[in-house]
């Protein structure tokens, strides 16, 4: 049963009736925002998906943030300086910056939060992101004390961060939700319940009012936010839309003002029906399959390569995704200035030649139509993911690979992967956390909580370390990262399939929902006619 929400003259929320979200006829501006899935958590340090990032970007504010064009702007810090050697960043926090409970946001809040991210007890998937900070990795692996991490409060409004090597993307990295501050007092008092409505203390443009799983998450404008005067949306309701077809009907009925995905098999009809409200463009992301590299028989790189080679990516891009995706042969997508992705060795061969080569390798390994190889593909709920898996199932069948499919909702799917659950092959996607190759390559490092494949290569680790050490030499660093990617691709540590494009439905009533390669759209910059 849908929950009915009461509205008042001064603080009206929304009305839910028969599944329809309707904006009431009061002064309050309500934005009903379709979001592909419910979050697994609203704890910034325990999240990893873009579905969660959209919400957390509204609730919290890091030292720096992204604007509607995905450019870095001041956040909780109003200014910063960088030492000549690129190792020490000094941030000045905003004067008068406060949490939603009215307490001041201080440099010590960021010290606590960064240490919490690295604390092994937190179990943060993104802990490895802050390994660029001096002793960040050592704290996370128990080799150093939290107070030895290169994060220091000089005074209440001055934060100093020391890196272990120059890191060109460091500022942009700080826009990620894992670098957001969390409120120590609330966590100490409430424990795991600190993220519940009525408990969550945040410092962003919005506060958490309601969370009804599988129905909606209601955020209300934070009057204490430093830029509240320029925030035009009073209430944003994040509505999970795993069923993309139903989402299209809700958008057409005016129940959704936007949705962050579409069922691609309906592409032609949607273009005809919605015109320029359907927005498609380049998106810095890779759609890939994780494959268990530490589990027989998938621990054999020759087998992994044969499977990857046999998949017809052109068919996936053209037929399944209706040309809204691009065939992908590298983990790093095109579009990062100065970087040349390392492509799979078979990228330039015809599909017929690929299939012949794959068939020969499978036969050498003892597999074929008479001795089939059984493989399970896990995927999260979405018509697009299902259609992709079914297409691959059909493509591999003639080679003697019997593919079974396992579908779960998005929260369950990623929870299983994050907890290192058992699987053969699993659908995954990676969207850039910052415009640098490292964000795509770092997920395959041994220490990464996002390394679902459990890929572990000493050669790859050494190559990535070498690239990190060259942080002060941009061209050399990018070349070294490409060398590292070559190792990953030749090992088939992951199976890249497609490069993303964003596919948003955006009502003509919305303004400030600007297109960008990061597909970042903070609600604080959006208005609604």
Residue 194, domain extent: 15-240+507-528
Average pLDDT over residues 254-263: 97
- Does residue 163 sit in the same domain as residue 302? no
Torsional sign, CA 291, 292, 294, 299: negative
- Does residue 335 sit in the same domain as residue 476? yes
Average the pLDDT over each of 6-20, 317-331, 461-475 and give the range with the smallest value. 6-20
Q: Which pLDDT score is estimated for 275?
A: 98
How does pLDDT run across 348-386, given as a tens digit for each residue? 999 999 999 999 999 999 999 999 999 999 999 999 999
Say if residue 23's pLDDT is above 50.
Answer: no
- Does residue 447 sit in the same domain as residue 516? no
Instruction: Report d(CA 142, CA 496) in Å as an integer.
Output: 33
Torsional sign, CA 214, 68, 118, 76: negative
Q: Identify whether the C-beta of residue 40 lies closer than 8 Å to the C-beta of residue 411.
A: yes
Residue at 256 is within a domain? no
Say if residue 24's pLDDT is above 90.
Answer: no
How does pLDDT run across 442-493, given as a tens digit for each residue? 999 999 999 999 999 999 999 999 999 998 899 999 999 999 999 999 999 9
Residue at 263 is within a domain? no
Concatenated DSSP letters of 267-336? HHHHHHHHGGGEEEEEEEEEEEEEE-TTSTTTT-HHHHHHHHHHS-HHHIIIIISTTSSEE--SSSPS-S
Q: Which pLDDT score is estimated for 27?
A: 83
Distances (CA, A) of 80 to 89, 216, 346: 7, 37, 46
Residue at 265 is within a domain? no
Q: Identify whether the C-beta of residue 169 lies closer than 8 Å to the C-beta of residue 86.
A: no
Q: Which pLDDT score is estimated for 191?
A: 97
Q: Which pLDDT score is estimated for 471?
A: 86
| N-term to C-term CA, the chain | 31
Taking the model in full, what pTM does it have? 0.88
CATH value at residue 154: 3.40.190.10
Instruction: Report d(CA 356, CA 186) in Å as an integer.
Output: 60
Give 91's contacts (C-beta < 8 A, 6+ positions apart).
63, 77, 79, 80, 107, 110, 158, 159, 160, 161
Q: Which pLDDT score is estimated for 12?
A: 35
Within 119-176, where are the H helices?
136-140, 170-173
Q: Which pLDDT score is estimated for 15?
A: 37
Say if residue 5's pLDDT is above 50.
Answer: no
Q: Which pLDDT score is estimated for 4?
A: 28
Say if residue 13's pLDDT is above 70.
Answer: no
Write the burial class of residue 456 (CB in 10 Å: 0-12 exposed, 13-18 middle, 19+ buried): middle
Q: What is the percent of the chain with per-residue pLDDT over 90, rounded to a whole number? A: 94
- Does residue 436 sit in the same domain as residue 352? yes
For residue 26, name the pLDDT band (cuts at 50, 70, 90): low
Residue at 462 is within a domain? yes
- Does residue 447 sit in the same domain as residue 298? yes
- Does residue 76 sit in the same domain as residue 224? yes
Residue at 227 is within a domain? yes
Residue at 276 is within a domain? no
Dihedral Cα 322, 325, 330, 332, nearest 10 deg: -170
- Does residue 424 sit in the same domain as residue 490? yes
User: Is it true that the peptide bond before 302 is cis, omega within 30 degrees of 0?
Assistant: no
- Does residue 181 sit in the same domain as residue 320? no
Residue at 272 is within a domain? no
Average pLDDT over residues 225-240: 98
How does pLDDT run across 416-441, given as a tens digit for each residue? 999 999 999 999 999 999 999 999 99
What are phi and psi for residue 467, nearest 5 degrees? -65, -40
- Does residue 495 sit in the same domain as residue 515? no
Task: State how many domains the chain has.
Answer: 2
Tokens in use for 16?
């839910």
For residue 14, name the pLDDT band (cuts at 50, 70, 90): very low
Reported in sequence order, the residue ranges of 169-241 that DSSP labels E, i.e. its strands, are: 206-212, 216-221, 235-240
Residue at 28 is within a domain? yes
- Does residue 203 sit in the same domain as residue 134? yes
How does pLDDT run across 89-98, given as a tens digit for each residue? 999 999 999 9
Alpha carbon 224 to its chain's center: 28
- Does residue 514 sit in the same domain as residue 383? no
Tokens in use for 347?
């990228």
Q: Which pLDDT score is estimated for 336?
A: 95
What are 283's strand-pairing partners?
A: none
CATH value at residue 442: 3.10.105.10
Write the burial class of residue 401 (CB in 10 Å: 0-12 exposed, 13-18 middle, 19+ buried): buried
How does pLDDT run across 145-183, given as a tens digit for each residue? 999 999 999 999 999 999 999 999 999 999 999 999 999
Phi-psi region of 199 (alpha: psi -120 to 50; beta: other; left: phi over 0): alpha
Residue owning tokens 């049963």: 1
Tokens in use for 386?
């299902």
Mean pLDDT, the chain, integer: 94
Average pLDDT over residues 264-276: 97
Residue 1, number of CB atoms within 10 A of its CB = 5
Instruction: Report d(CA 525, CA 516) in Å as an integer.
Output: 14
Instruction: Report d(CA 479, CA 481) in Å as an integer.
Output: 5
Give 429's contacts (C-beta < 8 A, 6+ positions apart).
285, 286, 287, 288, 500
3-state secondary structure of 58: helix
- Does residue 333 sit in the same domain as residue 229? no
């Amino acid at each position: 049963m849908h929950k009915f929400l009461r509205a008042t003259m001064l603080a009206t929320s929304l009305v839910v009736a028969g599944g329809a979200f309707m904006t009431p006829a009061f002064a309050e501006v309500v934005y009903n925002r379709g979001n592909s899935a419910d979050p697994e958590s609203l704890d910034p340090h325990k999240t990893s998906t873009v579905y969660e990032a959209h919400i957390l970007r509204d609730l919290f504010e890091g030292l720096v943030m992204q604007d509607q064009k995905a450019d870095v702007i001041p956040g909780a810090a109003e200014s910063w300086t960088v030492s000549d050697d690129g190792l020490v960043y000094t941030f000045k926090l905003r004067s008068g910056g406060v949490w939603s409970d009215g307490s001041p946001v201080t440099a010590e809040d960021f010290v606590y939060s960064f240490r919490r991210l690295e604390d092994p007890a937190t179990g943060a998937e993104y802990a490895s992101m802050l390994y660029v900070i001096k002793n960040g990795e050592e704290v996370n692996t128990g080799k150093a004390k939290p107070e030895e991490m290169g994060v220091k409060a000089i005074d209440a409004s001055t934060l100093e961060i020391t890196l272990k090597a120059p890191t060109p993307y460091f500022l942009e990295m700080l826009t990620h939700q894992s670098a957001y501050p969390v409120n120590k007092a609330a966590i100490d008092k409430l424990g795991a319940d600190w993220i519940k409505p009525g408990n969550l203390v945040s410092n962003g443009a919005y506060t958490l009012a309601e969370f009804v799983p599988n129905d909606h998450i209601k955020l209300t404008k934070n009057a204490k936010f430093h830029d509240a005067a320029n925030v035009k949306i009073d209430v944003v309701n994040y509505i999970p839309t795993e069923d993309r077809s139903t989402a299209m009907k809700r958008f057409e009925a005016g129940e959704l003002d936007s949705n962050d995905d579409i069922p691609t098999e309906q592409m032609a009809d949607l273009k005809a029906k919605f015109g320029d409200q359907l927005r498609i463009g380049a998106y810095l992301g890779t759609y890939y399959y994780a494959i268990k590299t530490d589990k027989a028989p998938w621990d054999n790189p020759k087998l992994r390569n044969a499977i990857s080679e046999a998949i017809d990516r052109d068919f996936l891009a053209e037929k399944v995704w209706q040309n809204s995706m691009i065939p992908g042969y590298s983990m790093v997508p095109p579009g990062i200035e100065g970087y040349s992705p390392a492509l799979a060795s078979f990228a330039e061969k015809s599909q017929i030649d690929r299939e012949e080569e794959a068939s020969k390798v499978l036969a050498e390994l003892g597999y074929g139509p008479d001795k089939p190889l059984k493989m399970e593909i896990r995927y999260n709920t979405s018509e697009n993911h299902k259609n992709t898996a079914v297409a691959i199932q059909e493509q591999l069948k003639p080679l003697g690979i019997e593919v079974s499919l396992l579908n779960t909702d998005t929260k369950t799917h990623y929870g299983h992967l994050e907890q290192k659950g058992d699987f053969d092959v699993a659908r995954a996607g990676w969207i850039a956390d910052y415009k640098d190759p490292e964000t795509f390559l770092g997920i395959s490092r041994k220490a990464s909580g996002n390394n679902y494949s459990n890929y572990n290569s000493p050669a790859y680790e050494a190559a990535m370390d070498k690239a990190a050490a060259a942080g002060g030499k941009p061209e050399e660093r990018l070349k070294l990262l490409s060398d590292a990617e070559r190792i990953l691709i030749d090992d088939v540590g992951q199976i890249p399939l497609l490069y993303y494009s964003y596919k948003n439905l955006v009502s003509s009533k919305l303004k400030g929902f600007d297109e960008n390669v990061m597909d970042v759209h903070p609600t604080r910059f959006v208005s609604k006619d």
